[in-house]
Amino acid sequence: MVSFVIGGCRVRFLLLFLIALNIASTAAAQQTPLRKLLTADEAKVWQAVGRINMKNAGFCTGALIAPDLVLTAAHCMYNPKTGVLIDPNDIEFLAGWRSGRAGAERKARRVVVHKNYVPGRNVKVEKVANDIAIIELALPITANFIKAFEYHKRPKLGDDVKVVSYAQDRAEAPSIEEPCQVIGLDPRALVLTCNVDYGASGSPIFIVDDGVTKIASVVSAKAIVNGRKVALGASLGAPLEELLAQLRSNRGVFQGKKPGRRSLSEQLGNTQTVAKILRP
């Protein structure tokens, strides 16, 4: 069972996860408040956000948290058709990709998926909370050229946030949505009013902390709650520290668990409100 505080009330959601789709959908895109970052000046601030291309597996969004580390969603590292982990040799990070050019292009050296992330359709509640991964780049991107973002451990209910992403029908330039808000909190995950779409998986969710823009979360899924489009993101803090510890210890490379055998209803129990979930 998953519960979030929304509007002062604790609401439980039945999470109906569908197939993780990283590639752009053929369905018509809906109008969103997203704004493309078309000019060089406005895009420069967000150059550490980039498009992650996976050979024969579409694309996701990610962001630098160190010169050689890209933070993204764990489910992006699995081929959406086969469910198999993608070879690092087939992964490329295009920092600041805009109109056919990147501020920097780097191949992946290895990938570290959170040790508690469980791939597959038979999803546990913790899937969103642990849906984070780090791509270690073959060569670092120098800080004096493109500066990596810091991360923020825990936003508060009602905080204004912003999302910078690539997605369906806007794969050639980053778009920003600002502001959207944190409307649900759980120790493991966030519910946000951000309207994300296919390809936006792994997009950084930013918060301004004492004048510094930091990553507060990573887009894991999109949902519809009471007719309203929302995004679900992993809380950072402890999960990210665990992931970084895996990286430092050289464990967790392509580490994942087999899907659990319990049914979705057994995992989540009874529910009061239904949220349909799709991978963005």
| pLDDT tens per residue, range 17-68 | 322 223 222 222 333 466 777 667 777 889 999 999 999 888 999 999 999 9
User: Binning pLDDT at 50, 70 and 90, where does residue 266 land?
Assistant: very low
Is 171 within a domain? yes
Is 154 within a domain? yes
Is 47 within a domain? yes
Is 215 within a domain? yes
Is 262 within a domain? no
Q: Would you give the end-to-end CA distance of the chain in angstroms?
A: 22
Nearest CA among 102, 98, 117, 105 for reference residue 37: 98
- Supply the CATH number for residue 131's domain: 2.40.10.10
Give per-residue pLDDT as tens, 192-222.
898 887 768 899 999 998 889 999 999 998 8
Is 267 within a domain? no
Is 257 within a domain? no
Number of domains making up the chain: 1
Range of the domain at 79: 2-251+274-278
Is 264 within a domain? no
